[in-house]
Amino acid sequence: MDFVDRTVRDIRRLKIQGAFHIALAAIKAFSLAKDKRKAARKLLASRPTEPMLRNSLKYLEKNPNTKTLIAKLKIDQEKIVKYALEKVPKKGIVYTHCHSSTVNEILKKAKHKGKNFLVNVTETRPFYQGRMTAKELTRAKIPVIVFVDSAARLAMKKADVMFIGADAITAEGIVINKMGSELMADVANHYEIPVYVCTHSWKFDPRTAFGFEEKIEKRATKEIWKNPPHGVHISNYVFEKVDPNKITAIISELGVFKPEAFVEEVRKNYKWMFN
């Protein structure tokens, strides 16, 4: 098994998680592949809901310097953290769902800057990525409370802000993120808590500007229930759509924008995506 195949396997088995890390892993695998076209095809097939992976490989078709691209993405990540820091309360409660490397970097940086806050996180079934978030943040000396998903109201009730990542963003400004994200945004809206999506703008899917629908990944039902009774059907969609009207702003390397304005900024700054 070569490096590309190992990378594809690790992405599919969720050993590599998070759209940003998946894109970085794909870029590295692509750079080491002898047959670039074959490698791109395999990597693109690894996860259906991954615009950042697709955009990164498309960028490399015209700009094959992977070191330059990785450096750019890391600088962009620093910009996202810088913009989002202003939204982290000096004291109070931050709510998040699932595991976002970008959100975690924001919170760790905020702690380093002297902000003292508590993080409430929902566990996020079936793989409990909320526990990953909790482990990472507690290592940074950030206090965390983990709630079961059905306790979202309690997790959110006293929060000052909600931060989530994104796996895809459509031309309509719809954010696609881990299952439960719109439910949590509904609860936040009910309590008038601002909802910020912290993400790289390359999560935008340019195909949606031409009428294509963003495919929502569906995984094996055994992840939910290995041996359900006869007649019981299992739904295991990984992601769901978050209505842009429920989102306060999208924070990316381009700045802090309402979803519709964010889409226009992507069009203006990355015209190559639409070619």
Of 161, 197, 195, 191, residue with least CA distance to 177 = 197
40/35 Cα distance (integer angstroms): 9
Cis peptide before 126 (omega within 30 of 0): yes
Q: Chunked in runs of 10, what are the mean pLDDT values of the chain (275 residues)? A: 91 89 93 92 91 95 92 96 98 97 97 98 97 98 98 96 97 97 98 98 97 93 96 97 98 98 98 94
Q: Which amino acid does the sequence have at 129?
A: Q
Say if domain 75-210+235-274 classifies as CATH 3.20.20.70.
no
Architecture in CATH of 3-74: Up-down Bundle (1.20)
Q: Could you give the CA distance from residue 164 to residue 103 in angstroms, rounded to a whole number?
A: 7
Distance CA 33, CA 137 (A): 35
Instruction: Collect all residues with Cβ–Cβ distance below 8 Å to 209 and sequence separation of at least 6.
Output: 171, 274
Q: Rounded to an integer, what distance in angstroms lies between the CA atom of residue 226 and that of residue 189? A: 35
Dihedral of the CA atoms 88, 90, 91, 93 (nearest 10)? 0
Domain positions in the chain are: 3-74, 75-210+235-274
State the pTM of this model: 0.94
In angstroms, the Cα distances linking 75 to 70, 72, 128 are: 9, 5, 30
DSSP string across 93-151: EEEEES--HHHHHHHHHHHHTT-EEEEEEE--TTTTHHHHHHHHHHHTT--EEEE-GGG
**Helix, strand, or coil here: 73?**
helix
Provide the pLDDT for residue 14.
87
> In Å, what is the CA distance from 117 to each residue of 120, 160, 163, 250?
10, 10, 13, 22
pLDDT reported for residue 261: 98
The type of residue at 250 is I
Residues with a catalytic annotation lie at: 167
Cα dist. 5→39, 103, 250 in Å? 8, 29, 34
Dump the DSSP string for 166-217.
Answer: -SEE-TT--EEEETTHHHHHHHHHHTT--EEEE--GGGB-GGGGGTPPPPPP
